[in-house]
Structure 1
Amino acid sequence: MSDRITLSGLKVRGHHGVFDFERRDGQDFVVDVVLELDLAPAAATDDVTDTVHYGELAGRLAEVIAGEPVNLIETLADRLVTVCLADGRVAAATVTVHKPQAPIPHEFADVAVTVRRTR
């Protein structure tokens, strides 16, 4: 599939992590999503109902990120990719979860997990 919708840099506060202080205090998570689907129907009709509404998708993803805490960003990424694949038009989805404030005792720029799922 060569058509894609990309949502980059969705920043939402969540309470995920293995440490008590991560769950108590929370931190910002940044999510990037790439959906692979046929965009020809939407291009032909010029109708948002013929594509994935990225604003609505962002809202559903934000609910998951801000919702029930998990220990691992791997688990969070899996939950988010499931949200992306809930729309039957999506053939594949790639989700990257960034945890830029991860509790690492060394200087670092980012920690991220990427998952890709297909139908």
Structure 2
Amino acid sequence: MDRITLSGVTAVGYHGVFDFERREGQPFVVDAVLHLDFAKAAESDDVRDTAHYGEVAERIKDWITGEPLNLIEALAVRIAEDLLAQFNIGAVDITVHKPQAPIEVPFGDVAVSVHRARQHSAPSSVPTYGARP
């Protein structure tokens, strides 16, 4: 699989288990790696034949700024599942960084990462995403 890497999508969100996190907000940073086949896009040279990374960035920002969640693990999974549902990709890796997490000792970053792939129940004659007919 080929990859599109989108690093450092940043927005203020209100995720966290503490009241002050939900009240005051803080920056969240998301990295996404989209796994897909570039063959059709390379042939057509048309953005419609790939995952439009501008649209991907907007969806990630919407999740960061959207409904507050307690855990960044939950945020990472929701972003990954949404991107799989909305774009013609075979798999996605999402990392959510919470650089201002309320941790009492000095630290550089805290992040969680998830990998999600398109699930296929059984082999069939239907081409998988990215496969050429």
Q: How many correspondences in the alignment? A: 118
Q: Which protein has the bigger strand share?
A: 1
Q: Is the 8 A contact 2:34 2:93 kept in 1?
A: yes
Unaligned runs of 5+ in 2: 119-133
For 1:27-106, what aligned pairs fall within 5 Å after superposition? 27-87=26-86, 89-106=88-105
Which aligned runs of 4 or more in structure 1 are off by greater than 2 angstroms? none
Q: Is the 8 A contact 1:77 1:114 kept in 2?
A: yes
SS at match of 2:115: strand
Q: Which structure has the bigger radius of gyration?
A: 2
Unaligned runs of 5+ in 1: none
Cα offset, 1:39, TM superposition: 0.8
C-alpha distance in 1 between matches for 2:88 and 2:67: 27
The TM-score normalised by the length of structure 1 is: 0.96
Paired-residue identity, %: 62
C-alpha distance in 2 between matches for 1:62 and 1:30: 9
The TM-score normalised by the length of structure 2 is: 0.86
Please tell me the root mean square deviation across aligned C-alpha atoms, in Å. 0.8
